[in-house]
Amino acid sequence: MRGTLYIMSGPSGTGKGTICRELVKTENMYLSVSSTTREKRAGETDGVTYNYTTDEHFEEMIKNGEMLEYARYDSHYYGTPRKHIEERLANGTDVMLEIEPQGAMQVKKIYPDAVMMFILPPSMWELKRRLSERGRESEEQIKERLKNARWEFSQAPYYNRIFINDDLHECVREIRRFIGETAQKRGFVEELLNEKY
């Protein structure tokens, strides 16, 4: 059976990256590593956090049709290389993409059966607090991220399921249940399609 493609989106600071890392610890799932042209930050690892590359190389990959999706965000490219995703899905492995709504909509056109999940913060105040506590962005950058978050929130209704990350462990439990239910339903559909009558 072909693998299922899952998409996880949500504004910066909602905890989607942490949630994805928690999920792949227990699920039989490949977490895709995106490519980016932004500089590597302290504590990040090339090939694990992101595949870091240049604008020229990224644009070459776009031109050659090697990107499943991509977007320009904060003057840097972010995107998902196509090859590894397609290989794993074909081999029956579930794949998780942690991407922005812009990219998610591009992927949905190619994979209409992708399961899309959106992570919300419990409040704008809490989102601002989380961004501030990370200590990575200036006050100006935080304002920009909060402005971007409002647009991203407007995309949430286009997703299959919305989760509120108020408590990380509870949110991860809810998503695991949802993934389990989705797999069960898809397995049942597969049985029906193969059933002789």
| Orientation angle between helical segments 101-110 and 139-155, nearest 10 degrees | 30
Half-sphere exposure of residue 169, counting CA atoms within 13 Å on the CB side?
A: 0
- Provide the CATH number for the domain around residue 145: 3.40.50.300
Q: pLDDT digits over 110-166, tens only? A: 999 999 999 999 999 999 999 999 888 889 999 999 999 999 999 999 999 999 999
Helices (H), the chain: 16-26, 55-63, 82-90, 101-110, 124-134, 139-155, 168-194
Number of domains within the chain: 1
Neighbours of 148 (CB within 10 A): 15
pTM of whole model > 0.75?
yes
The confidence band for 92, taking pLDDT boundaries of 50, 70 and 90, is very high
* Range of the structural domain that residue 43 is part of: 5-194
